[in-house]
């Protein structure tokens, strides 16, 4: 369990750094979509650092479930499993963008998708190493 939580924290940091870099290079706003929690009751007005810590906590929980249910068999089943996770992350972009009040654009969506693909691959590599 500790390994999965550490993996989630590390993957979450890489994701945040990737999105921050992409935001700087392409003038997008994906990092704010990722860490904004002001729409959740009781979490309004938190400093960005605390919002990032909330993101890392969520990342650790997601990584735990990704690794816990990671298929034991190799091949097509693993690819399908990871594809479903990436699809879920892609589907989450629109509601989180609307909740955070960020502008929605194709550039933002593709950067979000690439970042979460990287996130998924990091967790998959760590899940393979754990076996």
The pLDDT, as a whole number, for residue 74 is 79
Who's near 56: CB < 8 A, 6+ residues apart? Answer: 8, 9, 12, 13
Tally the residues of the chain. Answer: 131
Indicate the domain borders of the chain.
Answer: 2-130
Express each pLDDT in 15-72 by its tens digit: 999 999 999 999 999 999 999 998 888 888 899 999 999 999 999 999 999 999 999 8
Task: State the pTM of this model.
Answer: 0.92
């Amino acid at each position: 369990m500790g390994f999965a939580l550490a993996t989630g924290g590390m993957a979450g940091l890489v994701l945040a750094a990737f999105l921050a870099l992409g935001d700087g290079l392409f003038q997008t706003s994906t990092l704010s979509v990722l860490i904004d929690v002001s729409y959740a009751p009781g979490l309004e007005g938190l400093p960005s650092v605390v919002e990032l810590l909330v993101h890392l906590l969520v990342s650790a929980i997601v990584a735990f479930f990704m690794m816990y249910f990671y298929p034991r068999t190799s091949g097509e089943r693993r690819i399908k499993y990871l594809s479903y996770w990436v699809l879920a992350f892609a589907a989450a972009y629109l509601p989180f963008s609307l909740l955070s009040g960020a502008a929605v654009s194709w550039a933002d969506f593709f950067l979000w998708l690439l970042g979460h693909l990287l996130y998924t691959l990091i967790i998959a590599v760590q899940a393979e190493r754990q076996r």
